[in-house]
Amino acid sequence: MLIHIIIVVAGKVQGVGFRYSAKQAALEHNIKGFVKNLDDGKVYIEAEGTQENMAAI
């Protein structure tokens, strides 16, 4: 069973490698999706994976 989640992260998340770290974690756990910076300084994440893979992060 696949799980699809949407996350919006606020705080010091732009300019500190947050998107890169999120991508690396997703690749390590076979999670698909994307991460993008929003104009208001937040980061938007959509991710999809098995329950086991999502729980591993």
Q: For residue 5, give both structure tokens.
A: 């989640």
Q: Which of 14, 18, 19, 23 is catalytic?
A: 19
Q: Read off the amino acid at residue 6.
A: I
Q: Any catalytic annotation for residue 19?
A: yes
Q: Which of 37, 48, 50, 54 is catalytic?
A: 37
Place of tokens 């929003």: 38
Q: Any catalytic annotation for residue 50?
A: no
Q: Rounded to an integer, what distance in angstroms lies between the CA atom of residue 51 and that of residue 12?
A: 28
Q: Which residues are catalytic?
A: 19, 37
